[in-house]
Structure 1
Amino acid sequence: MAPPLSRRTLLQTAVLAAAAPGISYGMSGGRAVAATVPAPSAWAVRPFELKDVTLGQGLFATKRQLMLDHGRGYDVDRLLQVFRANAGLSTKGAVAPGGWEGLDGEANGNLRGHYTGHFLTMLSQAYASTKDVAFKDKIGYMVGALSQVRTALRGDPRMLAVTGKFGTAQENPRGSYQYVDLPATVLGGASAITLSAWVKPTHNANWTRIFDFGNNTTKYMYLAARNASGFPRFAVTTNGPGGEQGLDGTAALPLNQWSHLAVTISGSTGTLYVNGAAVAQNTSMSLNPAALGTLANNWLGRSNFQTDPVFAGAFDEFNVWSRALTAAEITALQSGRASATSAGRGNLASYDFFETSGGTFADASGRGLTATLRRTWGGPSHAGFLAAYPETQFIELESMNSGDYTRVWAPYYTAHKILRGLLDAYLHTDDARALDLATGMCDWMYSRLSKLPDATLQRMWGIFSSGEFGGLVEAIVDLYAISGKAEHLALAKLFDLDKLIDACAANTDTLDGLHANQHIPIFTGLVRLYDVTGEARYLTAAKNFWGMVVPQRMYGIGGTSTAEFWKARGVISGTISDTNAETCCAYNLLKLSRTLFFHEQDAKYMDYYERTLLNQVLGSKQDKADAEKPLVTYFIGLKPGHVRDYTPKQGTTCCEGTGMESATKYQDSVYFTKADGSALYVNLYSPATLNWSAKGVTVTQTTDYPREQGSTITVGGGSAAFELRLRVPSWATGGFQVTVNGSAVSGTPAAGSYFTIPSRTWRSGDVVKVTIPFRLRVEKALDEPSLQTLFYGPVNLVGRNSSTSYLSFGLYRNAGLSGDLLPSLTPVSGKPLHYTLDGTEFAPFHEGSEDPTHAYVRRSEPKVVFGGTDSGVANPAKSDGTTLLDEIWAGAPFSSKSALVTRVQSTVESWVTVGLLAQADGQKVVTTAQNASYAG
């Protein structure tokens, strides 16, 4: 038997055998569109493009408008700040958003750049949906800026000339990792010395160096802009920090202002001057430059201690003299260039920074010691590299064994967001520059990862947080479908996490303890890999994984995870906290559900889609305008009395990023078409118009769903033949009806399926009315049936109450024959979908308020009550918690009162027989049921 093929061989085979991209799946007329991801032949149904579905007025449009206004008004130079700084380009005075997007956020901003990708996707979807050129213009501006960034990163650093103290100056933007490298002989072995510099710091980080001359962290001489107390410090040592002989200032240098610093050493006396005044003197110094010898590292702006930050700010006129200037000479330097004072230029080195371009600085001392601008991390390994931080995060990940987000925080996750944003910019605006940037990123990733051993890749992708790569595989496969480059397909397979894939393919649940959002998007990528490789384990793993989460780890609103992680299968009540349902998880589960539906038209996927979109996703967006923040939750706590936080971590988390995306693509799954165009799927009931140009018709839904219990679908334009497949929600257990032009359509709709109107030639003006009666029902926590959440049709209702303990309610008291529990609640006048029960208002989860909420309540039915009439009998329960009333109402809906009474009689008899209910009490229960009045 031949030995099994290694992953390396399989990847080489993929590179050689990769197929060319397929035809366009854009359903806007069958035309081939360059900026369209080609359709996988495996998809039995296909989506329409966002531009082909117009969202009408209603709940979704209202939420979307808030995000459109935010995107239209936000200054994108703020997002580009970290990219430009990393490349040493002008940041145009912009201030990064903060939080996770900037150098001052969590883990030193190690995730910076991710938010820019999200924003590009949001803008792209907004443009596709509205055709508002304001969004397209912003996209073009951002893509152009990122193109400049990539060019700058690939080349040597270039001077950023700014207005200096006396002319031009060299600025190091914060986050640029740039420094000036001076020749080794700059100190000239002098025993007496003066070093003088004008500096304009722009950040208050401690231990940033104005200059640092040394070999390592043992032998060096430096001037720091700020010591641990925030004051300037000069030090020289040949024995590390413990042997430093120093001079410390007495006040901090002001930010964004020019300050002059000078240090003199003569004999045993060292003096530190700030703005011409001596602020510190040490008369017991035994060290000077001569004691250090010739040093290897002679830097302006960089420290010999690798963990110290790079100086952020500008340099003007740096001089070195082989003597100690007098106090008067130092004072004279305040009023003009050294060359115009009695001190003259430094005779060891003199840099005026007169240059306005290039990456070198001339020495005017006469010694010809040209200085060079460099980056601390060198340069990117491949021309396609694009990021808002150095490539060092990617490099360091390759040797890590465990996660540490303060060192490396998911660099490939961030790469995914940028890549996705660029792809979306290309797909929705046809900007070829965006495709070029996206292609370059994948070429760069392949150049790195294809050289790593399989074991290294498996270790990397299994590391929590640091190894997270989000939906990168999906994006790479989408690019491959456009580019047809075999290396791109091979790259996508390099992210296979075999341990996870194999377990899920075998339907072995290993999710307990895993980080939820690190793993959910992996499976959407696997489905896309199946699409282009036909490798069955990918699709099987994804389907099985979905079933491990839905409903096993799903809360009523559709979300999953607690404090970002999964617990054991079936544990719901035991995980409820203030940190449930990370919003990114909902976003990614919707993507996965949608993608699986393309392969298997099981209504459960679209049932989940409606549940999560209409509840968690809508509810994660606050109903409030804000120019600075998207106002989207990170976690949606389900603990009693939880108040949603719409501005976590300064508003730039992963969830606010995906939240921006969600709010600009609400229409993406309303309609699908069968691959051959013979059927139209109506998955969601939403006011949305489809321009199905391939058929020459429009399909418009007019509805205020979910405030309306149904939808009216009107065909417009020309005529076309197709089936109409209408989703019957799993909760719609009775009364689902369909008419065409006023006539009922025959057939029996089954909850949790699609009801088909057979193929016919539809003509302009044809009207389909869909009636979907709602009823109030409960869903029980899998591990604690008495803990329940309320649904009215598709709408999750939450109690608004400041109590931090579970509220206790009974719901059977006025239940209708249909099993509808709504009659036990009282409608609130003028507020659709609002009800009160025992003094607590229940409102739709999708309302983005800051009211304290109760998503779950305790079910308590102490007495047997029918139609508001109390039988006086205690409601008995079985050992598993099932009560007499539970068992009676489990038989709903009832066709008539007599059918209900018959159910009551048979249930009572069985309970009396096994000793759970006394005969006399049983008769009281039956009599009460017979005498009570019921709603329908």
Structure 2
Amino acid sequence: MGIRLNRRFLLTSAALGGVVSGVPGIRRAFASGGGDIAGGAGEAVTPVPLQDVRLLPSPWLDAVERNRAYLLSLSADRLLHNFRTQAGLPARGAVYGGWENDTIAGHTLGHYLSALALMYAQTGDAECRSRVAYIAQELALVQTKWGDGYVAGFTRKEKDGKITGGKIIFSEIENGDIRSGGFDLNGAWSPLYNIHKTFAGLFDAQTYCQNTDALAVAVRLGGFFEVFYSKLTDAQLQKVLTCEYGGLNESFAELAARTGDAKWLKLAKRTYDHPVLDPLMARQDDLANRHANTQIPKLIGLGRIAEVSGDKSWQVGPRFFWQAVTRHHSYVIGGNADREYFSEPDTISQHLTEQTCEHCNTYNMLKLTRQVYTWQPDSTLFDYYERAHLNHVLAAHDPHTGLFTYMTPTITAGVREWSTPEDSFWCCVGTGMESHAKHGESIWWQGAETLFVNLYIPSRLHWAAQDVVWRMDTRYPYDGQITLSVEEAKAAGPFRLALRVPGWVEGTIGLKVNGETVPAQPEGGYVTLNRVWRKGDTVALTLPLALRTEAPVEAPHLVSLLHGPMVLAADLATAEGAYDAMDPALVTSDVVRDFVPVAGQEAVYRTTQAGRPAQLEFKPFYAQYKRRSALYLRCFSETDWTQEEGLYREEQRRQKDIAARTIDVIHLGEMQQEHDHGLKADESWPLVYRGRNGRDLRAGGFMEFTLKAAPGPLVLQTTLWSKDSPRTRGTHILINGKALSGLNWPAEAPARFVEMEVALPEAWTRGKQSLTVRIVPGGSRSNGPFFGVRLLAARKKEE
């Protein structure tokens, strides 16, 4: 394929001893200009069917079992509420809260259908299959009531605020009334994204539960969209597709694959928004300031078009996107994005916040990784998969409660916010239901003559192709010893066993077959054993686990600690209560040598001298569910620490002061933020300026949103670019309809981001739980851009 893989991580920083500068979790395996994936085992592969894998005791099995309990605690009738009522059928259960009580209502049902089907395949739980059948029957009934193939549960908000059924948006769009952008399409929240979830759930119901009703519903739903698409010009459809559409292109390609009807492939290819996808197909990283999870499913869809059509040119974008995200946009735990948006490449050190690493993004990146792996087996792909699956996916699910996070914070002392059982239903609750129903899906892979082991998760496999049962026992990643044994074999048979050797491995690999040492010579990222296998055969693989550090490319002195594939983090305090300690740091010329293991605890290490302001204990990050931790730490030499300690402490104080006084903040120009704060606007458009999202405001328009309030004196802070200050333009800010006086807009200053602060009259805020902020432009010119508005508690007088 042209490019040979470099099996080692990037250059080690001489100044820091063990620090590695480069991409978290994967080797720099690709040429900068993209190109085909190289190396690998040279054999087309598919995952072993999920139903042929059973998990053995491990954190992954714990997650599956707790998730199963959560899935069975939910009511299918409550999730079907809007589907039935909008079709004129009586509800059998009250609608759930959270997002299910918003205009994105109905999206959870698709996730739930997928999760139940996957859980049936993973565990054999008959109740899960029964629920799948019930939901499929209900959707068929709803569809029959509509009569035209339509079936959905989303709603839409009228201009007067009234909530109505969502189907009306399609007739409006067909008549040329298209109001599309970001998350909103004619008053509905991402309706095509919503439809994609329904399609995906129906397909999973057919795949894992052999449910024929599900495919019939999907075909009829596709027919509704075939008619809808036929009434739109390409220009109109492009306008529609500026609103998030999930992986609807994948849905149509999947219909083509399952029915053999090429008309669906035509719909898939039309579901292509040129501004986003054209640069990626041209191998250009144009991702900065784009909403991350809006894009990932589109690339999976392009890959599915490639598979169904046989046209490999559609693989270019997905391959390049995977490289760009994993090499230049990913955090050490494998997640990506800040406040749901990509930033400029190699700038993650500037985006360590409480709003990093949306779970949906990683859920979809793992799907994309599996897809690309089937095109050309390459162990590098599973170096990333393992990293994200272990350190992010497990971190986003509490095995004690079965609840989920939306974000997994990378900010020091950040706290994971957990969903509630019945009143959240965020997108990440939906993908969480799925993720923890299928932990066995990527352990074992099969080629024509080879059984691949890509993940070291305790499990039992029936490999139907050879009629053999394998068992894998291991405490990896806490221990590097992995034992595989043939438990059953109908007859002795020859085939290859390919064991992935992770790219982080340094040192001697141990390999024994039936107790006898054999040479372990990795080739293409795998150790391969080619022999006749019999019942009772055993393979013992030992992967040396060692401490090492990694650092972002652009910030080599910002380090994270890893033990094998597992990311460790400094355990700072419980998540409960206030936390106002100084951020920890490391002062040493050799990070790794300063750590010692803590006796009696697995994968727990403690600094001996390097910790500041005190010695630190590092534990597996994923398992710090209810703890505050430090994932990235600044590392200094003794000389640098002496010089920088004062500045470091002052910056920490300033940041903590802002954070402590912040009551609420809206980051303008970001879809989710604006939606969460109920933004209303006219003659105002989101934009990106100098790498930051913001919102322009034109003459005659306005922007209005709601901020949470709190008792006591309050200050409103507005962020602008200094050269665009509306100082002389007569811009007004109204609080609950009252115009603020004494606005001291910043004068033109050296080019930089600046803040304008104004104290709010206490009489306006007393007893208020929220405030409506309205910004009205003055003059005839554009005002702003405005990048954020923050409500702060006023500093105490002694400060």
Give the TM-score, by structure 2 length: 0.69
Partner of 1:422 in structure 2? Answer: 202
| Structure 2 runs not aligned, ≥5 long | 1-41, 573-578, 645-799
What is the identity percentage for the equivalent residue pairs of Structure 1 and Structure 2? 31
Compute the displacement of 1:308 (Å).
6.2
Q: Give secondary structure in 2 for the equivalent of 1:140.
A: helix
Partner of 1:548 in structure 2? Answer: 324
Correspondent of 2:371 among 591, 595, 616 = 595
* Alignment partner of 1:614 is 2:390: yes
* Alignment partner of 1:853 is 2:629: yes
Partner of 2:595 in structure 1? Answer: 825
Partner of 2:780 in structure 1? Answer: none
Partner of 1:359 in structure 2? Answer: none
What whole-Å deviation, never above 9, does each CA across 1:779-799 have from its counterpart, x for those lacking one? 102221111111110111111
Compute the displacement of 1:848 (Å).
5.2
Is contact 1:397-1:460 (8 Å) kept? no
Amino acid at match of 2:139: L
Compute the displacement of 1:687 (Å).
0.5
Compute the displacement of 1:678 (Å).
0.6
Compute the displacement of 1:498 (Å).
3.1
* Alignment partner of 1:60 is 2:74: no
Q: Give secondary structure in 2 for the equivalent of 1:608.
A: helix
Q: Give secondary structure in 2 for the equivalent of 1:550.
A: helix
Partner of 2:111 in structure 1? Answer: 118
Is contact 2:485-2:536 (8 Å) kept? yes
* Residues 749 and 862 of structure 1: CA distance in aligned 2, closer, same or farther (over 3 Å): farther
* Residues 611 and 426 of structure 1: CA distance in aligned 2, closer, same or farther (over 3 Å): same
State which drifts further: 78-87 or 602-611.
78-87
Cα distance in 2 for partners of 1:499, 1:43 equals 35
Is contact 2:444-2:453 (8 Å) kept? yes
Compute the displacement of 1:416 (Å).
0.6
Cα distance in 2 for partners of 1:694, 1:43 equals 16
Q: Give secondary structure in 2 for the equivalent of 1:511.
A: coil
What whole-Å deviation, never above 9, does each CA across 1:260-284 have from its counterpart, x for those lacking one? xxxxxxxxxxxxxxxxxxxxxxxxx
Compute the displacement of 1:597 (Å).
0.6
* Alignment partner of 1:683 is 2:454: yes
Partner of 1:531 in structure 2? Answer: 307
Is contact 1:799-1:854 (8 Å) kept? yes
Compute the displacement of 1:82 (Å).
1.6
Count of residue correspondences: 585
Partner of 2:184 in structure 1? Answer: 405
Correspondent of 2:513 among 740, 743, 747 = 740
Compute the displacement of 1:397 (Å).
9.3
* Alignment partner of 1:460 is 2:240: yes
Partner of 1:697 in structure 2? Answer: 468
* Residues 84 and 832 of structure 1: CA distance in aligned 2, closer, same or farther (over 3 Å): same
* Residues 176 and 612 of structure 1: CA distance in aligned 2, closer, same or farther (over 3 Å): closer
Amino acid at match of 1:124: A
* Alignment partner of 1:762 is 2:615: no
Aligned-pair Cα RMSD in Å: 3.0
Amino acid at match of 1:644: R
* Alignment partner of 1:809 is 2:561: no
Compute the displacement of 1:419 (Å).
0.8
Compute the displacement of 1:767 (Å).
0.6
| Structure 1 runs not aligned, ≥5 long | 1-41, 103-108, 158-173, 178-204, 206-304, 311-375, 378-386, 816-820, 865-872, 877-936
* Residues 806 and 603 of structure 1: CA distance in aligned 2, closer, same or farther (over 3 Å): farther
Partner of 1:75 in structure 2? Answer: 75
Compute the displacement of 1:747 (Å).
4.3
Compute the displacement of 1:708 (Å).
1.9
Partner of 1:16 in structure 2? Answer: none
Cα distance in 2 for partners of 1:155, 1:493 equals 23
* Residues 733 and 308 of structure 1: CA distance in aligned 2, closer, same or farther (over 3 Å): closer
Cα distance in 1 for partners of 2:512, 2:155 equals 65
Cα distance in 2 for partners of 1:408, 1:90 equals 23
Q: Give secondary structure in 1 for the equivalent of 2:245.
A: coil
Is contact 1:86-1:389 (8 Å) kept? no
Partner of 1:445 in structure 2? Answer: 225
Partner of 2:135 in structure 1? Answer: 142
Cα distance in 1 for partners of 2:231, 2:174 equals 12
* Alignment partner of 1:835 is 2:608: no
Is contact 2:104-2:154 (8 Å) kept? no
* Residues 543 and 622 of structure 1: CA distance in aligned 2, closer, same or farther (over 3 Å): same
Cα distance in 2 for partners of 1:567, 1:77 equals 41
Correspondent of 1:729 among 502, 512, 525 = 502
Correspondent of 2:409 among 637, 650, 660 = 637
Is contact 1:394-1:412 (8 Å) kept? no
* Residues 81 and 62 of structure 1: CA distance in aligned 2, closer, same or farther (over 3 Å): same
Is contact 2:474-2:481 (8 Å) kept? yes
Amino acid at match of 2:134: Y
Is contact 1:423-1:435 (8 Å) kept? yes
Compute the displacement of 1:125 (Å).
0.5
Compute the displacement of 1:753 (Å).
1.3
- Which of 1 and 2 has greater Rg? 1
Compute the displacement of 1:47 (Å).
1.2
Q: Give secondary structure in 2 for the equivalent of 1:101.
A: helix
Cα distance in 2 for partners of 1:687, 1:634 equals 28
Cα distance in 2 for partners of 1:421, 1:393 equals 27
Cα distance in 2 for partners of 1:862, 1:778 equals 19
Q: Give secondary structure in 2 for the equivalent of 1:558.
A: coil
What whole-Å deviation, never above 9, does each CA across 1:686-731 have from its counterpart, x for those lacking one? 1011111121101211112112213101123223221111111111
Partner of 2:563 in structure 1? Answer: 792
Partner of 1:128 in structure 2? Answer: 121
Q: Give secondary structure in 2 for the equivalent of 1:485.
A: coil
Is contact 2:53-2:122 (8 Å) kept? yes
Q: Give secondary structure in 2 for the equivalent of 1:540.
A: helix
Partner of 1:99 in structure 2? Answer: 98
Partner of 1:667 in structure 2? Answer: 440
* Residues 397 and 696 of structure 1: CA distance in aligned 2, closer, same or farther (over 3 Å): farther
* Residues 807 and 89 of structure 1: CA distance in aligned 2, closer, same or farther (over 3 Å): same
Q: Give secondary structure in 1 for the equivalent of 2:528.
A: strand
Is contact 1:111-1:411 (8 Å) kept? yes
Is contact 1:806-1:858 (8 Å) kept? no
Cα distance in 1 for partners of 2:604, 2:580 equals 19
Cα distance in 1 for partners of 2:43, 2:222 equals 25
Q: Give secondary structure in 2 for the equivalent of 1:601.
A: coil
Cα distance in 2 for partners of 1:530, 1:556 equals 31
* Residues 694 and 309 of structure 1: CA distance in aligned 2, closer, same or farther (over 3 Å): same
Cα distance in 2 for partners of 1:110, 1:861 equals 53
The 5 A counterparts of 1:844-923 are 844-847=620-623, 849-862=625-638
* Residues 469 and 586 of structure 1: CA distance in aligned 2, closer, same or farther (over 3 Å): same
Compute the displacement of 1:390 (Å).
6.9
Q: Give secondary structure in 1 for the equivalent of 2:327.
A: coil
Is contact 2:509-2:520 (8 Å) kept? no
Q: Give secondary structure in 2 for the equivalent of 1:500.
A: helix
Compute the displacement of 1:513 (Å).
1.2
Amino acid at match of 1:96: V
Compute the displacement of 1:828 (Å).
3.7
Q: Give secondary structure in 2 for the equivalent of 1:761.
A: strand
Q: Give secondary structure in 2 for the equivalent of 1:100.
A: helix
Give the TM-score, by structure 1 length: 0.59
Compute the displacement of 1:472 (Å).
2.4
Compute the displacement of 1:55 (Å).
1.0
Cα distance in 1 for partners of 2:155, 2:494 equals 60
Cα distance in 2 for partners of 1:434, 1:678 equals 34
Cα distance in 2 for partners of 1:528, 1:175 equals 26
Q: Give secondary structure in 2 for the equivalent of 1:770.
A: strand
Partner of 2:269 in structure 1? Answer: 493
* Residues 395 and 851 of structure 1: CA distance in aligned 2, closer, same or farther (over 3 Å): farther
Correspondent of 1:567 among 304, 326, 343 = 343
Compute the displacement of 1:506 (Å).
2.2
* Residues 68 and 850 of structure 1: CA distance in aligned 2, closer, same or farther (over 3 Å): same
